[in-house]
Structure 1
């Protein structure tokens, strides 16, 4: 596989509690790119299911993933950039998000289950209960290099994580160079 195009979309991925929204928002601010939380693309039925402590099935996820992929397509076709926080736990989910594009990059936020469980225990006002963390780790298929992924450890400060991602993306002032 050749080199990927400069990205028009970054998908910050990982299990619930890994810091996807926080890192994606900070990265968007740093780069001047629009940020969207993938959770906002969930239908109400998915949110209610998760709030009730029920893991989503693949059938629940397909419409959500397709809605995110549609948004990526709209943004990229206008020559704009977007950063989306989205769990994207399985290869098949990431394939739906990509739709064969080579101008979308994944940022995998990696951390131990213990660290993330501790974070979830202290998080307020989020619909995802900490009890679903084990199912998220069981579902997680870590991305492979062929998926144009940047892996970032979550055991650093937000600023340090964003600095490392920007360095690896080779993005300066909101515009991409070769990646």
Structure 2
């Protein structure tokens, strides 16, 4: 979890590869309306996110029922969003990819094809972000290399 530009997709794919899990990028499951809204630079609200989070929680539940492991790269900005995700996966392990605004903005400015753009959108996510406690998530600084982040998380959940 983390705001846009924190590396959720890259890190999530690598974790999934390393543990033999399926990876889902939560951004691929936003509604067309939400994608259009973000493309116009309009932040999503709780109502926009609710159905999306229910869908993601359902993916966790389906994988648990099939005895499969799933990694989802998802912003999960608020505590109640993470609680909703836990409905499908009560033992959910969360990696919080934390970064300062300057690092995040620099990363976002290098994106060419993603629908999430701009300083105002990042600021909106940073305002909405309710950082998880150390009991709720494992926090890692995104200035570490991707391999260091993955290793630290894998050691933590081992």
Q: Answer yes or no: is 1:45 the counterpart of 2:3.
A: no
Runs of 4+ aligned residues of structure 1 deviating over 6 Å after TM superposition are none
User: Which residue is 1:118 aligned to?
Assistant: 106
Q: Structure 1: which 5+ residue stretches go unaligned? A: 1-12, 171-179
Residue among 143, 146, 150 paired with 1:155: 143
**TM-score, L = length of structure 1:** 0.85
Q: Structure 2: which 5+ residue stretches go unaligned? A: none
Secondary structure at 1:89 match in 2: coil
**TM-score, L = length of structure 2:** 0.96
RMSD: 1.1
Residue among 20, 41, 45 paired with 2:8: 20
Aligned equivalents of 2:97 and 2:108: distance in 1? 15
Q: Answer yes or no: is 1:96 the counterpart of 2:84.
A: yes
User: Which residue is 2:22 aligned to?
Assistant: 34
Q: Which moved more, 1:118-127 or 1:99-108?
A: 99-108
User: Which residue is 2:126 aligned to?
Assistant: 137
- Aligned positions of 1:46-65 closer than 5 A: 46-65=34-53
Alignment length (residue pairs)? 157
Residues 18 and 157 (structure 1 numbering): CA distance in 2 closer, same or farther, change over 3 Å?
A: same
